[in-house]
Structure 1
Amino acid sequence: MKSTTALSLGRIVKAAQYSEQGFRSAWRDEAAFRQELVLVLLLAPLTLWLPLPRIDTVLLIALMGLVLVAELLNSGLEAIVDMASPDIHPLAAKAKDCGSAAVFVALVVLAGAWLALAGPMVVGMLRA
């Protein structure tokens, strides 16, 4: 009988492998994911470099992660809908539109928070 530690470690390794496959698939097949990841890779270092209060930095980084999470879930939802309903169907369209709207909301929230929290500091640094 295997120990629960060995089983847990094996499960973690498998989960990490599945996650890697998901990231690779999203990068390969989803232009929106690539664009949003590039946005995060540009904004995250700038956010970490700015002398913002720690809570502002954590919030902005978390919102960047939320955008990527929303896009990954939207991509998964679209794949399932396409497999289940290859023909155009109002419910399939609704599911895909709602997933897209979730990504849009995450992007708007990130943009608003970044402009409100980091924007004034960036403008001040550019004026100096």
Structure 2
Amino acid sequence: MTEKNNLGHFARFGPATRNSILGLKAAYKHEIAFRQEVFLLIILLPIACYIANGFVEFCLLMSGIFGILITELLNSGIEAAIDRIGLERHELSGRAKDLGSAAVFVAICYFVLVWGYKIYTLF
């Protein structure tokens, strides 16, 4: 067992949180798409509070935005790992990046579906 495993569940919470914050800072600093999505969150959070009919609906609206953020973080991690391996073109590297991009696209489609339906029902 490594020293980290001997820390216990609560002792690992601090370092894990610190690593997560470093990851969020890195994504914000290096990924323009992530910055755009954070801006989207800042704009739509108060709108979701205003238009939602209850907590469950608010959570559904926010799930669309957070789904995009989560998927973008995973996609950025895939791209960073692939670029770390090498910048030369390889079929599997391209496929991995394309699949990550497709995941972001699916998350955006979910967002459009949820928010589109809510906006449609408002009018």
The reply to whether TM is greater than 0.5 is yes
Total equivalences in the alignment: 117
Q: Is the 8 A contact 1:52 1:118 kept in 2?
A: no
Deviations 1:93-119 (CA, angstroms, capped at 9, x unpaired): 110011011001101110111010234
Give TM-score, length-normalised by structure 1: 0.84
Q: CA deviation at 1:9?
A: 2.4
Pair member with larger Rg: 1
Aligned-partner Cα distance in 1 for 2:105–2:32: 15
Q: Does residue 1:49 correspond to 2:50, yes or no?
A: yes
Q: TM-score, normalised by structure 2?
A: 0.87
- Quote the Cα distance in structure 2 between the aligned partners of 1:62 and 1:50: 15
| Corresponding residue of 2:109 | 108
Unaligned runs of 5+ in 1: 1-5
Q: What one-letter code is carried by the residue in structure 2 that aligns with 1:100?
A: S
One-letter code of the match for 1:104? F
Report the Cα offset of residue 43 of structure 1.
1.0
Q: CA RMSD, aligned part only?
A: 1.5
Letter in 1 for 2:112: A
Q: More displaced, 70-79 or 83-92?
A: 83-92
Q: For the residues of structure 1 that align with 2:29 and 2:59, how far apart are their CA atoms?
A: 29
Match in the other structure for 1:20: 21
**What is the match of residue 58 of structure 1?**
59
Following superposition, the deviation at residue 79 of structure 1 comes to 0.4
Identity over aligned pairs, percent: 34
